[in-house]
Structure 1
Amino acid sequence: MRKFLGIVLFICFLACNRNPFAESRYQPAPYTPSSVVVPRPDQAIVPLPEKPAVYAIFLTTQGNLTVELFDQDAPKTVQNFIDLAQGEKEFLARNGQKVKKPFYDGLTFHRVIKDFMIQGGCPNGDGTGGPGYRFDDEINGKSLGLDKIQAGQAPYYQYQLQRAVANELKIKSREEAEAKREQLEKAFEEAKKLSVLEILFRTGYKYNENVNSHKAIKGALAMANAGPNTNGSQFFINQVDTPHLDGLHTVFGQLVSGSDVVDQIVKAGNSKTTIKKVLIVDKRSIVKPTS
Structure 2
Amino acid sequence: MRFLTLFLTLFLSFQSHAKLDDGIYANLHTNQGDIIIKLAFEKTPLTVINFVGLAEGKKHSNIQIGKPFYNGLKFHRVINDFMVQGGDPKGNGTGGPGYQFNDEITDLTHDKGGILSMANSGPNTNGSQFFITHTATPWLDGKHTVFGHVVKGMSVVNTIKKDDFIRKVKIIRVGEKAINFKTDEAAFKAYNEKFIDLEITIKAKKREKLISFVKANYPNAKVAEAGHYVQINQTGTGDSPKSGDLVKVHLSIDLDDGTNMREAGKPLPFAAGS
TM superposition score normalised by structure 2: 0.57
Q: Which residue of 1 aligns with 2:35?
A: 65
Aligned AA (1:138): E
Percent sequence identity is 48
- Report SS of the residue matched to 1:58: strand
Deviation at 1:46, TM superposition (A): 7.4
What is the CA–CA distance in structure 2 between the aligned matches of 1:55 and 1:101, rounded to whole Å? 19
Where do residues 114-125 of structure 1 align in structure 2 (5 Å cutoff)?
114-125=80-91
Q: Which residue of 2 aligns with 1:89?
A: 59
Q: Which residue of 2 aligns with 1:270?
A: 162
Deviations 1:71-116 (CA, angstroms, capped at 9, x unpaired): 11101100000000000012114xxxx6541000010111100000
Q: Which residue of 2 aligns with 1:247?
A: 142
Contact 1:44 1:281 in 2 (8 A): no
- Report SS of the residue matched to 2:135: coil
**Distance change >3 Å, CA 126–CA 251, structure 1 → 2:** same
Q: How many residues are aligned here?
A: 165
Q: 274-283 or 216-225: which moved more?
A: 216-225
> Between Structure 1 and Structure 2, whose CA radius of gyration is higher?
2
Where do residues 39-188 of structure 1 align in structure 2 (5 Å cutoff)?
44=13, 47-48=16-17, 49-93=19-63, 99-140=65-106, 143=107
Q: Which residue of 2 aligns with 1:146?
A: none
Q: Which residue of 2 aligns with 1:149?
A: none
- Structure 1's unaligned 5+ residue stretches are 1-42, 144-212, 287-291
- Report SS of the residue matched to 1:112: strand
More strand, by proportion: 2
Deviation at 1:117, TM superposition (A): 0.3
Contact 2:56 2:66 in 1 (8 A): no
**Distance change >3 Å, CA 121–CA 45, structure 1 → 2:** farther
RMSD, aligned CA: 1.9
Aligned AA (1:274): F
Contact 1:222 1:253 in 2 (8 A): yes
- Runs (4 or more) in structure 1 with deviation over 2 Å come to 43-50, 213-217
- Report SS of the residue matched to 1:131: coil
- Structure 2's unaligned 5+ residue stretches are 1-11, 178-274
What is the CA–CA distance in structure 1 between the aligned matches of 2:53 and 2:135, rounded to whole Å? 28
TM superposition score normalised by structure 1: 0.54
Larger relative contact order (CA 8 Å, sep ≥ 6) = 1
